[in-house]
Amino acid sequence: MLNKVYRLISPKQFETVMVEENIKSNTVIVRPTFLSICHADQRYYTGSREKSVLRKKLPMALIHEGVGTVVKDFSGTFEKNDRVIIVPNIPFENNKFIQENYLPSSKFRSSGHDGLMQEYVFTQSDRLVKVLDSIPSNVAAYTELISVALHGIKRMQKVMNEDHETFGIWGDGNLGYIVANLLKGLYPNSELIIFGKSEEKLSFFSFADKTYTIDAIPSNIQISQAFECVGGTGSYFALKQIINYIKPQGTIGIMGVSENPIEIETRKVLEKGLLISGTSRSGANDFKDTVQFLSDHPSERKRFKNLVGIEREIKSIEDVHAFFEADLANSWGKAVMKWEL
């Protein structure tokens, strides 16, 4: 079956190609309906990744966050028109020690493998999770990022001690907001403190117990467990503050992506006996757990609607360019496109 795929062939240049898709007994054909832009997509679109990386990854279709409707399920798992979240991670093996999102053999949509900017997505039933009726499509579109945050918290839970008195989150952007909202639902009796650069962005964290700009943190603050959600060069400064303010034997979850190496004060890490947990991406089970969380926590589910920053209909490649440019200028929230191309 022929499928229309919209691939980025070089920065800010798309090409429409027709691809012959193979259909198997477990194939599910999904029509993408709502897609969300990630920072990684922007780095490919703008060409801000190293040229060697671009040569290796391109051409490919962008976007790995999205939801769609089932057109045809040859496995019999889903009904026609079911709303489903598309899991971008594609494993090719099972390992009892390594989760699917850390296996080097796994492929990932919009990272060297075609993403969701397609007329139809051909996948298999275990890479799809049904969307609850109570979850609006513009929120379901960025379930992948919520699942990444939940995966990071789950990994932290396995290694952190039982001191849940105070959680600290460094980062006032989308990831910080998602982690904070999840923690509020999972640990409602814990104190939640957000540390950021922008007072305007910190105002969105009204559900947190306290917020501080990073240049005005009280000296007597003590954090039980901490999450770094900054990324880039700011990770260095965030981790420096976290190591200073976290209690001995606390755990630090590193979730921000930095393209270049950063320094960590290992002497203080050793003196305090700190644990550091690093996480990346998520797997199908994390998506299922995310949907369950959204079902069990209506207040947090409602709060995720506040993270939709801009939303537009996409009916042409010109619309795609305009949307990516609008996202670059967007100061808050996720950019969600209603995919009608």
Of the candidates 57, 37, 32, the one whose C-alpha atom is nearest the C-alpha of residue 123 is 32
Q: Averaged over 323-329, what is the pLDDT?
A: 96
Annotate 185-209 with b (16+ C-beta within 10 A) or e (fewer). Answer: bbeeebebbbbbbeeebbebbebbe
Q: What is the structure's pLDDT at 51?
A: 92
User: 119: which residues sit within 8 A by CB, 6+ positions away?
Assistant: 3, 4, 5, 31, 341
Q: For residue 74, what pLDDT is reported?
A: 97
According to the model, what pLDDT value does residue 123 have? Answer: 98
Give the pLDDT band of residue 318 (cuts 50, 70, 90).
very high
| For residue 331, pLDDT beyond 90 | no
Which segments of the chain does DSSP mark as H helices, in order?
A: 39-46, 51-57, 137-140, 143-159, 174-186, 199-202, 234-245, 266-272, 284-296, 298-303, 317-329
Distance CA 301, CA 293 (A): 8
pLDDT at residue 19, rounded to an integer: 96
In this prediction, residue 330 carries a pLDDT of 92
Q: Give the residue-averaged pLDDT of 27-37.
A: 98
HSE toward the beta carbon, residue 45, CA cutoff 13 A: 20
Encode pLDDT of 140-150 as tens digits. Answer: 999 999 999 99
Q: Which H or E element spans position 78?
A: none
Is 5 in contact with 120 (CB distance < 8 Å)?
no
Inter-CA distances, 30 with 81, 165, 174, 183, 253, Å = 9, 44, 27, 32, 35
User: Which of 294, 315, 312 has its CA nearest to residue 303?
Assistant: 294
Can you tell me the distance from the alpha carbon of 206 to that of 208, in angstroms, rounded to the nearest whole number?
A: 5
Say if residues 121 and 85 touch (Cβ distance below 8 Å): no
What are the tokens at 288? Answer: 């299922």
- The secondary structure of residue 246, as a DSSP letter, is B
Other C-beta atoms closer than 10 Å to the C-beta of 24 total: 9
pLDDT band at 283 (very low <50, low <70, confident <90, very high): very high
Confidence of residue 247 (pLDDT cuts 50, 70, 90): very high
CA distances from 187 to 165, 179, 222, 235, 286 (A): 9, 12, 17, 25, 18
pLDDT at 258 over 90: no
pLDDT tens, 209-222? 999 999 999 999 99
Q: Is the pLDDT of residue 259 over 90?
A: no
Strand segments (E) across 187-247: 191-196, 210-213, 225-228
